[in-house]
Structure 1
């Protein structure tokens, strides 16, 4: 098993292959942080069929590369920067720092000191978290549009409009208005635009709920067996 240590930086990553049995540095490669360069590094690493990646700060600067590798079936462990710093302090020329040494140190720490933690691929729970955040943003956008529409209808209709407006109900109310003058015409036009936006948010929210339901079903959760709990709540 060859360990490939990664020292990640914002614009470049350095990889160093280290044999854990001999602690010998076999080869090193520096790449730019692009998808094409990620592929070049993976192609380079395939010369060692049995390999594991040790990424320094895999949940920080190394997060994107780590996710990319995991998605392609690679084994990845996370090595804390404090652990690689300790290796540098104990190595010859204590404290000296360069990318190749850091990357090799990450692999050495993972192999010899047991400070590395396996990183798991993203799963349905991660996808659900993304969908949940998206749903929250969609709902907030819809609420803003409804509030703006309510304010416009209040100015256009005697007695205003109900607070809980659907797109269909708002359109019915707007159809009763015959605007006169530039201000009313502008309010009427903006209200029509907002109704169209609300319909768009409604479609996106329904699509979001369907995607959530598919992932909840995939996870084989039993929560939806409980009366009153649907996929979104689950």
Structure 2
């Protein structure tokens, strides 16, 4: 599921604003004067969805606005889109700001949150209409699943290191693999009860590590196949392999929804934010944006610096101008964002429908 080009909310009728949770959906009907006309809370299931639709039937011309329609609100947004009902995505940060600036002193409840979503939908000049893109949604699901398994593998390696250091003097080297751990265990023959117990635990961890390695390899191959099928040329750029390209495609969605490379940079969290005051003009690092895209650009930037490339030359010029490593890296990531945006835009022209 992704967002289409920005859509203006008309100043008439009502907005059915939804605050989604894992187990419940709270909907509030918000009128043009930013008042709540009615509210309902339903469970997240088929019966709850039918109840919500019956509730909304009293306002047949209502527009729907969901907080985080591509996140926690995705299941509801997808059902509504399947029923040919347009859905507006209200960013969680925007709804939170509305609630904090309201006259309710920031009091928090599901109905108050839903009302804030509706007020944000009325007040914001432009918001994005959600569209369903199964290919991108599937690619994102596999990407996130692989990221979860990689994190689990790191935790598993740490546990294995902690056990092996009690069995092998000085422990094992960094970059531990299942094969290296298994080879070390074959040389360990403890005679005491504690040692035998630790060896059994270590053997179980090695078995689990091998299973996790196989699953990560399978997910990586799935991503590789999806990237190849998409026809993207991102992998031709230095520092972008199949996994990073899959992450960029999955997290970006249709690149046409960004009006410019500057808008894309802001979405990635690499566009500096102006914090000028009076005659003092200065910028600070943006903490917003998609952190996964930001990470992908960081990986790309590191590769550009490591090898002889235009990115490395640009980085060295920034360092020569007096910037430290972090500042030069931020400049390079912003420059690389333009390259990525241009590449994805060109790809969309030649192949408008990416496959997964």
Q: Do the two structures share a fold, i.e. TM-score over 0.5?
A: yes
Partner in structure 2 of residue 200 of structure 1: 211
Aligned 1:30-41 pairs, distance under 5 A: 30=40, 32-35=42-45, 36-41=47-52
Residues 3-23 of structure 1 deviation map (CA, whole Å, 9 limit, x = unaligned)? 77313356554476x9xxxxx
Of 157, 168, 175 in structure 2, the residue corresponding to residue 157 of structure 1 is 168
Aligned 1:43-82 pairs, distance under 5 A: 53-55=63-65, 57=67, 59=69, 63-64=73-74, 65-70=76-81, 72-78=83-89
- Matching of residue 212 in structure 1 with residue 223 in structure 2: yes
Check conservation: 2:150, 2:216, Cα contact below 8 A. Answer: yes
1:169 aligned counterpart, secondary structure: helix
CA distance in structure 1 between the aligned counterparts of 2:176 and 2:56, rounded to whole angstroms: 58
Partner in structure 2 of residue 119 of structure 1: 129
- 1:225 deviates by 4.4
Q: How many residues align?
A: 207
- 1:217 deviates by 3.5
- Matching of residue 6 in structure 1 with residue 16 in structure 2: yes
What's the TM-score, normalizing by structure 2?
0.44
Partner in structure 1 of residue 193 of structure 2: 182
Residues 145-199 of structure 1 deviation map (CA, whole Å, 9 limit, x = unaligned)? 2233234334323564333322123222212222211111111011111101211
CA distance in structure 1 between the aligned counterparts of 2:233 and 2:41, rounded to whole angstroms: 46
- Greater CA drift, 158-167 or 140-149: 158-167
1:156 aligned counterpart, secondary structure: coil
Check conservation: 2:70, 2:89, Cα contact below 8 A. Answer: no
Residues 95-123 of structure 1 deviation map (CA, whole Å, 9 limit, x = unaligned)? xxxx8xx99xx69x87xx99563422254
What's the TM-score, normalizing by structure 1?
0.61
Q: 1:73 to 1:128 in 2, by over 3 A?
A: same
Q: Which has the larger radius of gyration?
A: 1
Partner in structure 2 of residue 230 of structure 1: 241
Of 140, 147, 151 in structure 2, the residue corresponding to residue 140 of structure 1 is 151
Partner in structure 1 of residue 299 of structure 2: none
Q: CA RMSD in A?
A: 4.7
Structure 1 runs not aligned, ≥5 long: 19-27, 86-98
Partner in structure 2 of residue 90 of structure 1: none
1:189 aligned counterpart, secondary structure: helix
CA distance in structure 2 between the aligned counterparts of 1:211 and 1:72, rounded to whole angstroms: 31
- 1:232 deviates by 0.4
